[in-house]
Amino acid sequence: LREGLEAALVVSILIAYLVKSERRDALPAVWLGVAAAVALSVALEATLELTSAEMTFRQQELFGGSLSIVAVLLVTWMIFWMRRTSHALRTELQGRLDHALSMGTGALVLTAFLSVGREGLETAVIVWGTARSTGENTEPMIGVALGLATAVVLGYLFYAGAVRINLAKFFLWTGAGLVVVAAGVLAYGVHDLQEADHLPGLTDRAFDISDTIPADSWYGTLLKGILNFQPDPTVLQATVWLLYLVPVMALFLLLPKGGTKTRTPTPQETTAG
């Protein structure tokens, strides 16, 4: 839902700007870029699934663990970028679109492709890692379909003016949630690397609350699917989880909206300039 809504908002802003600028002739180029981005994301998801199926157990664990770390890096970069730019997202996209329109159809296709493709590729990597951690295939895909469908509906309503979204608050709260999710993905990735014998401490447990929260219970499964929660993590897993969650969450919440503000010159400085 989060990534899908980002992409839907981007598309709705691009289309609304073209319509208001009386440049409907450029709409097919935007849709072509969007379609190419979606196709690339689906292809990446399929490639990850097919590639991992042909590996040995240790190769799968190494591949999955490494990709989980890549997913965490992507998510971390994305949430901080959106935290800084959400208040000016519309202005930034319109500026890119003006530049693309002046360069021709190819640049317009590329603008839409890059704007949507970033969210699509991040989603493919995150979904693959999360689905793999739950050990299920069907249920995570149902969740993906529901999230994307909801995002498309909200994106259309946003375009039609039926709903107003405070982007700064939306990305603040969903970003904080994604920090927690990313911490779980990172911990699970570390566990994969331990099972692949690339990191030590596979048998050193930080704690074990399997009796309280069984992994196969409905609430254990829910926590596993959403937060990558594990009732018996290793010491290294728990340590990495804390070392990521605490500082990243603190930095994310303390980061000023819009990043560093530019100081307004005094009248004396303006005159001197």
The encoded tokens of residue 253 equal: 């919440």
Distance, in Å, from the CA atom of 220 to the CA atom of 207, rounded to the nearest integer, reads 16
pTM for the model: 0.69
Do the Cβ atoms of 228 and 185 come closer than 8 Å? yes
Distances (CA, A) of 240 to 90, 124, 190, 199: 36, 24, 8, 12
**Which sequence spans correspond to the domains of the chain?**
2-258
Do the Cβ atoms of 220 and 164 come closer than 8 Å? no
Exposure pattern of 106-134 as b/e (b: 16+ CB <10 Å)?
A: ebbbbbbbebbbbbbbbbbbbbbbbbbbe
Output the pLDDT for position 247: 95
Distance, in Å, from the CA atom of 59 to the CA atom of 63, rounded to the nearest integer, reads 6
Q: What is the mean pLDDT of each run of 10 residues along the chain (273 residues)?
A: 81 83 85 91 84 79 85 85 72 77 80 82 77 68 86 85 70 85 88 90 90 83 77 93 95 70 42 42
